[in-house]
């Protein structure tokens, strides 16, 4: 257990793995939304993890995760046990449905075009959407659908959307809560 004060921290691992988010700013609001890290490794444990303060580069916490730690986690969550390695794990990840995208789009206000830029859409894409659709809610919905359609299957999840927009200063708290709820449900499966 690591109790952190507010600040910006970086999670490092040995051997190196893909850790999302790579850097997390700990504030009371952010911790409520995303109070965990996700790590993906292509090798088996053990792993050494450490949390470093990005300002001072001081190691705040470190631990070694063993294969037994991972096995204990599998025993607690048998429904998540992978039967076919990475393929099985990836098949559990669900892209956001159009219904979910519509619900999210209704929560955006005037910042929706900034969201589009964070999602990697071009200004021309926004102009095309606005030109072909007069209803603002449907413009926002089409923006999210365009983002989803531009990604590979399994890469348009609530977590992917959150990772893309989490640094946007004007993101409505309702969107944050809904994405966190969707991520929590996906994790519980």
Report how far apart, in Å, the C-alpha atoms of 38 and of each of 34, 64, 103, 126 are.
10, 16, 26, 32
Bridge partners (DSSP) of residue 12 are: 50
CATH number corresponding to 98-188: 1.10.533.10
- Domain ranges for the chain: 7-76, 98-188
pTM higher than the cut 0.75: no
Q: Is 146 exposed, middle or buried (0-12, 13-18, 19+ CB in 10 A)?
A: middle
User: What distance in Å separates the CA atoms of residue 148 and residue 86, rounded to the nearest whole number?
Assistant: 22
The two structure tokens encoding residue 2: 């690591």
Residue pLDDT, tens place only, 140-162: 999 999 999 988 888 899 999 99
| Model pLDDT for residues 6-20, shown as the tens digit of each residue | 666 677 777 766 665
């Amino acid at each position: 257990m690591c109790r952190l004060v507010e600040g910006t921290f970086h999670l490092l691992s040995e051997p190196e793995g893909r850790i999302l988010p790579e850097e997390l700013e700990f504030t009371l609001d952010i911790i409520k939304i995303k109070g965990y890290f996700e790590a993906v490794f292509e090798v088996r444990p053990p792993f050494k993890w450490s949390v470093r303060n990005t300002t001072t580069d001081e190691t705040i916490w470190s631990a070694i995760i063993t294969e037994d730690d991972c096995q204990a986690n599998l025993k607690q969550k048998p429904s998540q046990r992978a039967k076919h390695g990475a393929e099985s794990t990836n098949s559990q990840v669900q892209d956001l449905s159009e219904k979910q995208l519509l619900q999210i789009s209704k929560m955006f206000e005037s910042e929706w075009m900034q969201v589009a830029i964070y999602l990697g859409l071009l200004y021309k894409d926004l102009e095309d959407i606005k030109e072909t659709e007069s209803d603002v809610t449907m413009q926002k919905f089409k923006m999210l659908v365009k983002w989803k359609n531009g990604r590979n299957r399994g890469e348009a999840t609530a977590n992917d959307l959150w990772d893309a927009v989490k640094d946007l200063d004007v993101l409505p708290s309702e969107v944050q809560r809904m994405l966190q709820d969707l991520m929590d449900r996906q994790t519980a499966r």
